Structure 1
Amino acid sequence: MAAWLAAAAVALVHGLLAVFVVMGAPLAARRRRMMPWYLAVVLPIAAINIPRLPCVLTVWEKELWRLAGRTPYDGGFISHYFVEPIYAPGLDASGEIVLLVIVTAWCLGWLAYAAATRRRARSAARSTVAAT
């Protein structure tokens, strides 16, 4: 029972992190105080996913399912919980790469927007100070 609860807890946290990576990008871009938290989550995830290393949370979850007496799912976490409920075959290797590129572009786009907005604000502040 404990292994089942632990596996479910790891899956829940993993899912929340995945949603935060996508939904947190525009929030962090618009709310300056959220940016350090967003980067603290995104950078380790990028360090694991871009070189296509196995995700620690997925490995832990699958091992906990084994300990609970259940057969763990095949493939990755995102494919199992987010893609397969909509598209039953799930993602193959090329689909995973396409999804990774899309999410990376989404996040980088919002980070670039945040940097440009802050740069414009600093420039406008300097112009105001120089004009006085």
Structure 2
Amino acid sequence: MLYRIAADGLVLFHLSFILFVVFGGLLVLKWRCLAWWHLPAALWGTAVEFFHLPCPLTDWENRLRHAAGQSGYGAGFIEHYVWPVIYPAGLTPAVQLWLAAVVLVLNVLVYLRVIRKWKCL
């Protein structure tokens, strides 16, 4: 039971990390100190998508699921609603490259604005 709860919590953390990678630059506009957290996260998230690297969170979650005696994903809330957001159907390497490019461009634009703002101070 605890392994399943841990695995579900890890999926939620994974989703939060993805959202931070994509939209964290917008938080940096308000709280500049978050750049120290967001830049490495954004670089990692972009690298995972561009180079098709395995995410350690996915491996960790699968290990927890196996320890819980699960072989796959059932019809629970986490598996049904959160998992498809992280790994949608039809996610191909080409789509991953486009997603990575969108994340990269979005964050570059945000950081250009942050840098311009810092120069004005």
Give the TM-score band, short-chain normalised: 0.7 to 0.9
AA of the residue aligned to 2:39: L
1:57 aligned residue = 57
Alpha-carbon shift at residue 42 of structure 1 (Å): 2.5
2:85 aligned residue = 82
> Residues 27 and 34 of structure 2 are in contact (CA less than 8 Å); yes or no, is this contact kept in structure 1?
yes
Q: Describe the shift of the 1:46–1:54 C-alpha distance in structure 2 as closer, same or farther (beyond 3 A).
A: same
1:105 aligned residue = 105
Within-5 A mapping of 1:36-51:
36-51=36-51
- Structure 1: stretches of 5+ with no match in the other structure: 74-78, 123-132
* CA deviation profile, 1:46-94 (whole Å, cap 9, x unmatched): 4444322100001111222222222346xxxxx943166xx6x331221
> Residues 7 and 61 of structure 1 are in contact (CA less than 8 Å); yes or no, is this contact kept in structure 2?
yes
Alpha-carbon shift at residue 110 of structure 1 (Å): 0.8
Matches of 1:32 and 1:71 in 2, distance apart? 43
AA of the residue aligned to 2:84: Y
Matched positions, count: 113
Identical positions, percent? 27
- Structure 2: stretches of 5+ with no match in the other structure: 74-81
Matched residue of 2:51: which SS? coil
Runs of 4+, deviation exceeding 4 Å: none
Matches of 1:37 and 1:45 in 2, distance apart? 12
1:24 aligned residue = 24
Alpha-carbon shift at residue 30 of structure 1 (Å): 3.5
Matches of 2:95 and 2:83 in 1, distance apart? 13
Confirm or deny that 1:114 pairs with 2:106: no
Matches of 2:93 and 2:33 in 1, distance apart? 36
AA of the residue aligned to 1:5: I
